[in-house]
Amino acid sequence: MSINQDEWFIEAYDGISAFGLKFSEKLYEAQSPFQKIEIFETPAMGRVLILDGCFMVAQKDTFIYHEMLIHPAMNLLANPRKALVIGGGDGGAVTELVKYKYLEEITLCEIDEMVTSSCRIYFPEVSRGLDDTRAIAAFEDGAAFVARHSNHFDAVFVDSTDPVGPGKALYEVTFYQSIKNSLRPGGIAVFQTESPIFMSDVFSETVEKLKSVFGNDRAIPYLAVIPSYPGAMWSFTMCFNGDRKPCIDMASGNENVPASLNYYNSKVHSAAFSLPEFVKNLARIVD
Ligand code: SAM
């Protein structure tokens, strides 16, 4: 089947593989001080947000990513009051966090204000959490922002782009140390840690760096399937700031789990942390 480039958006990975979607309309294009922003309407996955040629948000599967970034940690925390999202300018992570009524402060630190302003227009259902009175938006480099906070947050979520451009700062050990310092005792940080299939080196190196900062058994990967991301299998790594060995098993039927979810539940939680052998090997995890 031939592809008419005028009707398809195609993201290439390392120039040797690709994922593409036919689009019906290009809704938006702009060059921000940090990246190229494009938004398309596609029959297969609804509206999609593209940053510098990479899929970031697809209406059809973004709920999986945002629910799996936020809810596993939120359901292991006793009574978190202050949460921080670094990156995440589409607002999807904040929209999941506002479902926890006991949260008092939800800060979004996104370097590119144009990402947020365009997502408010074209992805209102994803970004609507930004309208919550508890949501605070800081438009600056997340590494500099978090370095100014210590012993402040109960939960930090790093919803970054790949380790290129402004995203590179969010893959450095100094950044991970700042995150740890910004957490209160018993706090949890969750990082999106890329594809174990297409970015196995980045995944492996990132988990190692997180272990070096949080401790060997305090940086625990888990998985979800995000069809619009490279290789579909996607990883997150949950890190614990505390001297107690973390328990990732969630009390079944935890009353904190918001009722309105479409992907996450207690069985999905347990399955996500049950890692395939090749992922355990990449993360140097020995049961
Ligand atoms: N879910 C997507 C993924 O896994 O690739 C990430 C989505 S979100 C749109 C990524 C955001 O990180 C972008 O809006 C980008 O501007 C932001 N970002 C990149 N580097 C940053 C930095 N140093 N500080 C704060 N935000 C940053």
User: Which of 13, 39, 111, 158 for a ligand 1 pocket mutation test, highest count of atoms within 8 Å of Cβ?
Assistant: 111
User: 112, 154, 159, 162: which one is catalytic?
Assistant: 159
Q: Would you list the domain boundaries of the chain?
A: 8-58, 62-243+262-282
Q: What is the pLDDT of residue 243?
A: 74
Residue 1 has pLDDT above 70, yes or no: no
N- to C-terminal Cα separation, the chain: 46
Within 10 A of 31 (CB to CB), how many other CB atoms are there?
Answer: 9
Q: What is the pLDDT of residue 157?
A: 98
Q: Which of 143-157, 203-217, 248-262 has the lowest mean pLDDT?
A: 248-262
Fold entry, domain 8-58:
Spermidine Synthase; Chain: A, domain 2 (2.30.140)
> Mean per-residue pLDDT for 109-126?
98
Distance from residue 167's CA to the centre of ligand 1 (Å): 6
pTM for this predicted structure: 0.96
pLDDT tens digits along 155-169: 999 999 888 888 999
Q: What is the pLDDT of residue 254?
A: 63
Cα 212 from Cα 75, distance rounded (Å): 25
pLDDT tens digits along 197-251: 999 999 999 999 999 999 999 999 999 999 999 999 999 999 999 876 677 776 5
Please tell me the residue having the least CA distance from ligand 1 atom 5: 161
Atom in ligand 1 nearest the alpha carbon of residue 166: 20
- Mean pLDDT of the residues in the chain: 94
Cα 36 from Cα 33, distance rounded (Å): 9
Please tell me the residue having the least CA distance from ligand 1 atom 27: 87
Residues ≥6 apart with Cβ < 8 Å to 259: none
Q: Any residues with Cβ below 6 Å from ligand 1, and which? A: 34, 51, 56, 65, 86-90, 109-112, 115, 141-143, 159-161, 166-167, 169-170, 192
Q: Which CATH architecture is the domain 62-243+262-282 placed in?
A: 3-Layer(aba) Sandwich (3.40)
What is the 3-state secondary structure of 67-86? HHHHHHHHCCCCCCCEEEEE
Residue 253 has pLDDT above 70, yes or no: no
In contact, 3 and 91? CB cutoff 8 Å: no
Cα 270 from Cα 50, distance rounded (Å): 31
